[in-house]
Amino acid sequence: MQQYKQYKADPRLLDWIFRNTDRFPQTYWDLKKIKKLDSKNRRYDLRNDFYDAVLPSWLAEEDDTFSLIGEMENLQYLRMGEVRVDDFSFLVKCKKLKKLYVEDTNFSDCSLLLHLPALKEVSLPERKKLQHIEVLEQLKKQISIQTQEPYDTDDMQFDMKIVNSNEIVCAFEGASDVRFADVSLTGQAYTLWHTFSQGEENNWYSLEKETKQSMMAQLEDAIIKEKVGALLFSLEPWGEDHFLMVEFEKGWVAVVYIDLEAGIYAMPYNPEYDTLTILAPVLIGGQTPVPRMWALYDMELVAKIVRYFVEHGQLYPDIQWALQV
């Protein structure tokens, strides 16, 4: 039996590989076959297959390790989302890379782009975070270059008031029972969630009480350890219109309760910030920027907010909320 060198990869990277290729690489040479790696390729139809799959013995999980990408020498398209990487030098081994999207990462060293001869398009973080920015001027005639500049907060219209949670009533058809859940977790440790029927009507409401308690314990652990991509709990059977949505990015969390029928839009109030001009790195729905005044970085508090909503169908009472008026 052929022996392979041991390689390690962050669970998020393994998830990207699986969703782009429908499986884990079984041999080292399978890495050479990967031409596209897109972190936004969700492939929810493969959710259960991923958690049933077994890593080959030469491949192991290790948090914050992305150097395995450098072994994909035929990679032509790479999108990396919502990760922090200590060293991006592995990119120079991807000589066939044509499109590179790292705007949601902490990428900074533009000199690495000089080692990618096939590159045609690149999307980077905002310019003030980049080093060797003179390289962009040198390459702009050959490469389409975009940078993720911050939103112009002067053009952002916010009309919110700060209220206590008892001023916001969460209900659907007179009831405040959570009925639907859609939760995305990173890694293979949260076994009860991996077999949970995502997307099915009344999927949370139909569970036994003991199962809910066990699943909430796993979810709280995942939130505190920042192993959650996004989550949604809804008072409606099918998960629309009356829901608490939570999104995570770069150590920050956006929490929003939306009731389209009653016109309620509420987010936690973070008293550490008294201005709307400082934005958190997290977006609602991947589009709407969130001021730090309405975002959180305390994961234990986020876990409490989620548990309270799941158990009571109401907003967490020990903080104040920003309510759209």
DSSP code per residue over 139-173: HTTTSEEEEEPPP-GGG----EEEEEGGGS---BT
CA dist 291 to 77, 107, 243, Å?
A: 32, 23, 21
CA-to-CA distance for 135 and 284, rounded, in angstroms? 33
Ramachandran sector of residue 61 (left: φ over 0; alpha: ψ -120 to 50; beta: rest): beta
The DSSP H or E segment spanning 283 is strand 279-284
Comparing 299 with 275, which gets the higher pLDDT? 299
Domains within the chain, CATH numbers bracketed: 7-148 (3.80.10), 154-324 (no CATH)
pLDDT at 225 over 50: yes
pLDDT in tens, 181-222: 999 887 778 889 988 988 789 999 999 999 999 999 999 999
pLDDT tens-digit profile of 20-66? 998 899 999 999 999 999 988 755 444 545 555 688 999 999 999 99
> What strands lie across the sheet with 99-101, from one edge to the other?
36-38, 77-79, 99-101, 121-125, 144-148
Which pLDDT value is given to residue 85? Answer: 94
57-103 tens-digit pLDDT: 999 999 999 999 999 999 999 999 878 899 999 999 999 999 999 99
Kindly write down the DSSP assignment for every residue of 186-253, as one continuous string. Answer: -SS--HHHHTS-TT-TTTTTTS-HHHHHHHHHHHHHHHHTT-EEEEEEESSTTS-SEEEEEEEETTEE
Cα 169 off chain centre by:
28
Instruction: Provide the pLDDT confidence category of residue 275 given band limits of 50, 70 and 90.
Output: confident
Most distant pair of Cα atoms in the chain: their distance? 67
Residues near 99 by Cβ (< 8 Å), separated by ≥ 6?
76, 77, 78, 79, 119, 120, 121, 122
Q: Summarize the confidence of residues 291-300 as an average pLDDT.
A: 93
In this structure, which amino acid lies at residue 20? N
pLDDT of residue 74: 97
**Mean pLDDT value across residues 300-305:** 97
pLDDT-based confidence at residue 154 (cuts at 50, 70, 90) = very low
Predicted local confidence at residue 219, as pLDDT: 96
